[in-house]
Amino acid sequence: MRTVRVALRCHRARGTGTSSLTGLSRSTTPTRELFRRWCAAAPARPWPGQINLRGLRSLVRAELKWGLFIHTQRARPTRWDLGWIRSLVTTCCALEVDSLIGFEFGAGGCAEFTGAIAKEILHELRLVYFTPAEAREAGFLETDHFGVRFERASHVDLTGIRQRWLLDLVWDYLADLLQSPRCPRTAGVVDGLRRAAVELGAFLEVDAPAGGHDPARLHGEHMRRFVADQRHRERDGLPSLAMKRTDGSASIVTTTTRSVVFNAVRKMLRDAMDNGTADRICLGREFIIAIPTAGATTGRTARRPFPDDVARALADEENLRQLAEVDDPLDRGLRDVWETTVTTGRRIGEVLKLRWDCLGRYGRLPMFWHDQTKVGNYDAAIRIPERLYAVLAERQRKTLDRFTAEHGRRPTGTEQARLALFPSNYRNHDGTVSLTYQWFHRRFKDWVDTLDLGSWVAHQARHTLATNLLRAGASLTHIRRYLGQVSDRMAEH
């Protein structure tokens, strides 16, 4: 109360006619309750290194504390500036948010980064609020429930699948897949199945009796009509019934997407028929067997080797200088990755994931060590030319210099062995995270487009090397072993 009186006296000394407490008149005596209401409504003053959570509802306050704690436990957390977190706190306080579960992103003029923080905390809260069974009932799947995290968030939204029986089939199939020895390495399988189920559900909604919600009423003719509709949309370039692009426009059905849909639906329904789920939900066998395989026209034709003129252009010194200076101004190693791919025939992913200690001389011969993760062949070595050895040795020096400039010291022996040869500059404080394939592909494509050579991809360098080896007299067995292929049949292909 003494503080209130001092504030009132100061106002009156300045000649004001009202107090600073919610418009009280000079004759009004402020009460403790009014003062507390003013304290609750007044925004907290920013203080260095602190976040004031007073005024928040108890649940949302606990959620924010949990989100901040989990964020600190991540090996490579995203960037959360103190101002962004304060903005989120202010928004939740002003809107009297009860829980982030019901938080409307963008409400109250919430900044983009603030909404991203709320979404990340929300992903963590789902793991606390929902068990796997409850997540299934709510229509989503959390891969973290099964100890699997792809290169993105754990949340997989399945609410776009209209029919409950179909949603449950997808959830159970994915849950079994994530817990099996054949758990996928990337999220492509998950995305493909979700797309397939959404496409099938949207078609049944408008074509099947009762909107396709009763599996007992579905017959072979309904699946055959779905197959015909997908092929018709593929042939005429028509939009999908349900799938949207990131900008909100309708996704166009292509040969690739149609192939993904056919294969994913067929695998899932055949699995349901084999394990007895189809009988339990009364889904007819004729409906299941009517879906065909994608066939030979999957849109993934074999990549040809580079023609001579294209190969010369992609190896021209002036063009390579453009690749390094224009498409990689920060010198992250774009040209080195490409030259390593051309010289060794390694897959792009194998080159990008190289560790710092990938080079060595054995009997004075330069050797190149790498992991062929696609075929499960780890720590494999091949002999490389002296010129490539010098290129990669220079890249080793640059990587060490970057680490020293960032940390103010040279890496220890253990840290040096764990360093990526081509480190990313995104969420990579220890230098162990490599550049991504998307980073390389986008810049390589821009470079090829500026050369006006047509449509070519980096993987064709691998096929070019294989044909050159064959022309030089190498046998298929030698080519298979050098390129890290799983069989002679693949080498023949």
Residue that is written with structure tokens 């999908």 in the block:
240
> Which three-class secondary structure state does DSSP give residue 157?
strand
- 161 — alpha (psi -120 to 50), left (phi > 0) or beta? beta
Contact between 77 and 102 under an 8 Å Cβ cutoff? The reply is no
Alpha helices (H) along 95-162: 112-129, 132-138
Residue by residue, pLDDT tens for the chain (493 residues) are: 443 333 333 333 334 434 444 444 444 456 888 887 777 667 667 777 788 888 788 999 999 999 999 998 887 888 888 888 888 888 888 888 888 887 776 655 556 677 888 888 988 899 999 999 999 999 999 999 999 988 777 899 999 999 999 999 999 999 999 999 989 888 899 999 999 999 999 999 999 999 999 999 999 999 999 999 999 999 999 999 999 888 888 899 999 999 999 999 999 999 999 999 999 999 999 999 999 988 655 545 667 889 999 999 999 999 999 999 999 999 999 999 999 999 998 999 999 999 999 999 999 999 999 888 777 788 888 899 999 999 999 999 999 999 999 999 999 989 998 999 999 988 888 889 999 999 999 999 999 999 999 889 999 998 888 888 888 888 888 888 888 776 666 666 6
Cα(255)–Cα(262) distance, integer angstroms: 11
Contact between 369 and 359 under an 8 Å Cβ cutoff? The reply is yes
Residue 425 sits at φ, ψ, to 5 deg, of -105, 15
- 409 — alpha (psi -120 to 50), left (phi > 0) or beta? beta
Contact between 450 and 369 under an 8 Å Cβ cutoff? The reply is no
Residue 53 neighbours by CB under 8 Å, 6+ apart:
61, 64, 65, 89
> Which three-class secondary structure state does DSSP give residue 283?
coil
Residue that is written with structure tokens 């980073």 in the block:
439
Alpha helices (H) along 315-385: 317-325, 334-344, 348-352
* pTM exceeds 0.85: no
Q: Note the CATH number of domain 308-492.
A: 1.10.443.10
Length of the chain: 493
Query: Can you state the angle between helices 220-236 and 255-274, rounded to 10 degrees?
Result: 160
Q: Record the tokens describing residue 196, joined without a space.
A: 């397939």
Cα(82)–Cα(96) distance, integer angstroms: 21
Alpha helices (H) along 378-459: 386-407, 413-418, 437-451
Cα(196)–Cα(192) distance, integer angstroms: 6
Q: Record the tokens describing residue 450, joined without a space.
A: 């500026």
